[in-house]
């Protein structure tokens, strides 16, 4: 089987608690769970900016350098929600776009990605956001009417709990269950006054199961198609946006958005 196309982050679907991963390449939708235990080969064929279609080298987040610094889809408020200004009617790069994205319900959550963290996301992005970061447990704690207020809550909470995912830990630790309700109780006092009315009344722990049964002990290599123009290995699992190979190498698909690749699946199983 041979596929080719522009990489975008894997799309996901939860079947009860189980994650199904899909890769869309041109006209094919590949169900990646079915490739586990198969040998796959990815090769770099070029680039295509997700915003302007230019074939220049991708700079970051699927964008060429120009789009990364100019497109409203790559504004700084995306990574730093507390810089959001659409609720004040102030433009960063494109006010209409920013209003559409920022002035909608956002969720502040706690998640367990091997370590505990706080994060925020647009409400529509759940549970996708949790799956993409490789959280095997998550719990929404606040629902705010815009991105700015979620950012305010996150800034206050991240003084007491991390706001980062350690991807090596996420890929190599066993999935300990934590009582996220208890974690919330310990943080409750740090929630800023202005968002207290946004607390979710019934907080539910959401368990997520990834297709990743045999854990690797250590990440020996993290592939980058810019350097390793050919990647080959036996896929043993998928977690977050990572493909995990038998030889303890991994590849973050999301970091390769905008890369044009060929994907070859060898039919021999191991
Ligand atoms: Zn571009």
Locate the domains of the chain by residue range.
2-67+212-269, 74-207
Calculate mean pLDDT across residues 221-231: 94
Q: What is the distance in A from the centroid of ligand 1 to the CA of 37?
A: 36
Using alpha carbons, list the distances in angstroms from residue 6 to 42, 133, 159, 253.
12, 22, 39, 11
Task: Say what percent of the chain tops pLDDT 70.
Answer: 98
188-214: pLDDT as tens digits: 999 999 999 999 999 999 999 999 988
Mean pLDDT of the chain: 95
Q: What is the distance in A from the centroid of ligand 1 to the CA of 56?
A: 8
The tally of CA atoms less than 13 A away on the side-chain side of residue 25 is 18
Calculate mean pLDDT across residues 66-87: 92
Which tokens hold the place of 11?
């799309």
Whether residue 140 has pLDDT greater than 90: yes
The whole-angstrom separation of Cα 108 and Cα 80 is 14
Q: What is the distance in A from the centroid of ligand 1 to the CA of 62?
A: 8
pTM equals 0.92
Whether residue 151 has pLDDT greater than 80: yes
| Residue located via tokens 């064929």 | 45
Which tokens hold the place of 267?
């039919």
pLDDT category of residue 268 using cuts at 50, 70 and 90: low
List of residues 6+ apart from 229 with CB closer than 8 A: 43, 44
Report pLDDT for 22: 98
pLDDT category of residue 174 using cuts at 50, 70 and 90: confident
The whole-angstrom separation of Cα 196 and Cα 86 is 21
Phi-psi domain of 26 (left: phi exceeds 0; alpha: psi -120 through 50; beta: other): left
| Number of C-beta neighbours around residue 264 at 10 A | 15
Q: What is the distance in A from the centroid of ligand 1 to the CA of 238?
A: 29
Q: What is the distance in A from the centroid of ligand 1 to the CA of 58?
A: 8
Q: What is the distance in A from the centroid of ligand 1 to the CA of 254?
A: 17
Burial class, 157, CB count within 10 angstroms (exposed 0-12 / middle 13-18 / buried 19+)? buried
Calculate mean pLDDT across residues 11-21: 96
Q: What is the distance in A from the centroid of ligand 1 to the CA of 54?
A: 5
Calculate mean pLDDT across residues 223-252: 96
Q: What is the distance in A from the centroid of ligand 1 to the CA of 223?
A: 24
Q: What is the distance in A from the centroid of ligand 1 to the CA of 1?
A: 31
Q: What is the distance in A from the centroid of ligand 1 to the CA of 9?
A: 17
Max CA separation in the chain (angstroms):
59
């Amino acid at each position: 089987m041979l596929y080719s196309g522009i990489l975008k982050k894997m799309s996901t679907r939860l079947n009860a608690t189980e994650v199904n991963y899909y890769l869309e390449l041109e006209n094919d939708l590949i169900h990646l769970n079915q490739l586990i235990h198969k040998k796959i080969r990815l090769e770099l064929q070029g680039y295509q900016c997700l915003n302007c279609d230019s074939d220049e080298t991708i700079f970051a987040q699927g964008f060429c350098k120009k789009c990364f610094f100019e497109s409203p889809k790559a504004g700084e408020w995306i990574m730093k929600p507390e810089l959001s200004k659409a609720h004040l009617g102030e433009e960063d790069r494109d006010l209409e776009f920013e209003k559409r994205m920022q002035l909608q319900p956002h969720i502040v959550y706690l998640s367990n990605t091997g370590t505990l963290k706080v994060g925020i996301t647009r409400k529509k992005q759940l549970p996708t956001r949790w799956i993409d970061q490789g959280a095997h447990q998550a719990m929404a704690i606040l629902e705010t009417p815009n991105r700015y207020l979620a950012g305010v809550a996150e800034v206050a909470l991240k003084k007491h709990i991390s706001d980062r995912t350690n991807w090596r830990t996420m890929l190599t630790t066993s999935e300990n269950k934590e009582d996220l309700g208890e974690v919330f109780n310990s943080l409750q006092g740090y929630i800023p006054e202005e968002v207290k009315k946004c607390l979710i009344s019934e907080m539910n722990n959401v368990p997520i199961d990834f297709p990743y049964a045999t854990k690797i002990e250590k990440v020996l290599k993290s592939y980058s198609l810019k350097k390793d123009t050919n990647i080959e290995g036996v896929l043993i699992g998928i977690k977050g946006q990572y493909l995990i190979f038998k030889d303890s190498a991994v590849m973050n698909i999301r970091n390769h958005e905008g890369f044009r690749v060929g994907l070859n699946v060898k039919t021999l199983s191991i």
